[in-house]
Amino acid sequence: MEKTILIFGGSGFVGSNIAFLAQKLGHKVFISDKTKKEKLNHFNFVSCDITKLETIATIIGQIMPDIVVNTAAIADIDFAEKEKEVAMRINFESAVAIAEVCYVHQIKYIFFSSDAVFDGNKSEYFETDIPSPVNFYGQTKALAEKRINVIYPQSVIVRISLVLGLPLDGGNSFVADLKNKLQNRVNIYAPTDIIRTPIDVKTLSSAVIELGSSDFSGIIHIGGLGKINRYELTRRLAKALGFEENKVLPTNSGEPDSSKARRHKNGCLNVQKAGLVLKTKMLSMDSVINNSISY
């Protein structure tokens, strides 16, 4: 059945990909962001700075969507560490304010969180594991999860480890950044001790749209079926993109320099629950990589 979906942060990497698939599936989509991007002209656009909390209520009240997806965030971990006040306002306060408005109107709310809520010392993390973030970005997400769960427990909290794929118009895409560096013949260093369970943005978008129409509430991990370290992943992506793997060199995450936030080493999300709840299938690493290099 056709739904009306409002996506905060809808012109970012993940948000715009969800908008693209939702529109293709026949849903009525509104994307909201601070600034309108040219390549996203075919979507209904609503300008909103989510730090202006009163605007959130106005926009949701005007559109009255069936589903609100919140992908808006300070997603840059190092920036969040430096600009703590800004990160807290967007990743925590605004995310909670959106939940409050959704609760008032009983609108399905899907909030985007991260494996960064965990310290990375366990071999894998389940939805029931207690958050213990090692950096400020992870703290903002963990606090938002906790508060959203209190004020509107019917919300859906989607935790992801690393999203691969191409952006529709800019945003935080690792694959686009890698392709750009490879095209410019820059040597790329990738750590062997940072392990993730990446998911391609197409599968993630499908899962999110499915969750929006389901009765599911609570935390759900979305990720690929395999674990991989960043070095191996970057090599495989380079090869899939048609470049030489040896442009990717191994490194170790080591101790962060003062300009960088601490990283959790093992951000592996167990996705058994997604396998039980969703018709959208979580994929093998080969399929995740293949899905990530084209639109």
CB of 292 to ligand NAP, least distance (A): 11
**Closer to ligand NAP by Cβ: residue 38 or 215:** 38
**Closer to ligand NAP by Cβ: residue 51 or 291:** 51
DSSP state of 282: P
Q: How far is CA 272 from the centre of its chain?
A: 19
Residue 54 makes CB contacts below 8 A (sequence gap 6+) with none
Contact call for residue 211 and ligand NAP (CB under 6 A): no
Q: How far is CA 258 from the centre of its chain?
A: 26
| Count of residues of this chain found to bind ligand NAP when the rule CB under 6 A is applied | 25
Contact call for residue 34 and ligand NAP (CB under 6 A): yes
Q: How far is CA 140 from the centre of its chain?
A: 14
Which of 22, 31, 88, 90 contacts ligand NAP by CB under 6 A? 90
Q: How far is CA 48 from CA 22, 23, 191, 225, in A?
A: 21, 21, 37, 36
Q: Which stretch binds ligand NAP (CB under 6 A): 127-135, 158-166, 211-219, 221-229?
A: 158-166
Strands 188-191 and 156-160: unpaired
**Residue 218: strand pairing partners:** 156
Alpha helices (H) along the chain: 13-24, 53-63, 77-82, 84-87, 95-105, 136-151, 174-183, 201-212, 230-240, 272-277, 285-292
**Closer to ligand NAP by Cβ: residue 174 or 243:** 174
**Closer to ligand NAP by Cβ: residue 26 or 50:** 50
Phi, psi (deg, nearest 5) at residue 62 = -75, -45
Which of 50, 97, 148, 168 contacts ligand NAP by CB under 6 A? 50
Contact call for residue 35 and ligand NAP (CB under 6 A): yes
Contact call for residue 54 and ligand NAP (CB under 6 A): no
> Which has the closest alpha carbon to 234: 173, 171, 163, 175?
175
CB of 31 to ligand NAP, least distance (A): 9
Q: Which stretch binds ligand NAP (CB under 6 A): 156-164, 245-253, 255-263, 274-282?
A: 156-164
Which of 6, 7, 11, 271 contacts ligand NAP by CB under 6 A? 11
φ/ψ region of 224 (left if φ > 0, alpha if ψ in -120 to 50, else beta) reads beta
CB 8 within 8 A of CB 48: yes
CB of 38 to ligand NAP, least distance (A): 13
Which of 5, 6, 7, 9 contacts ligand NAP by CB under 6 A? 9
CB of 77 to ligand NAP, least distance (A): 9
**Closer to ligand NAP by Cβ: residue 55 or 246:** 55
Which of 18, 29, 33, 266 contacts ligand NAP by CB under 6 A? 33
Contact call for residue 160 and ligand NAP (CB under 6 A): yes
Residue 258 makes CB contacts below 8 A (sequence gap 6+) with none
CB of 183 to ligand NAP, least distance (A): 20
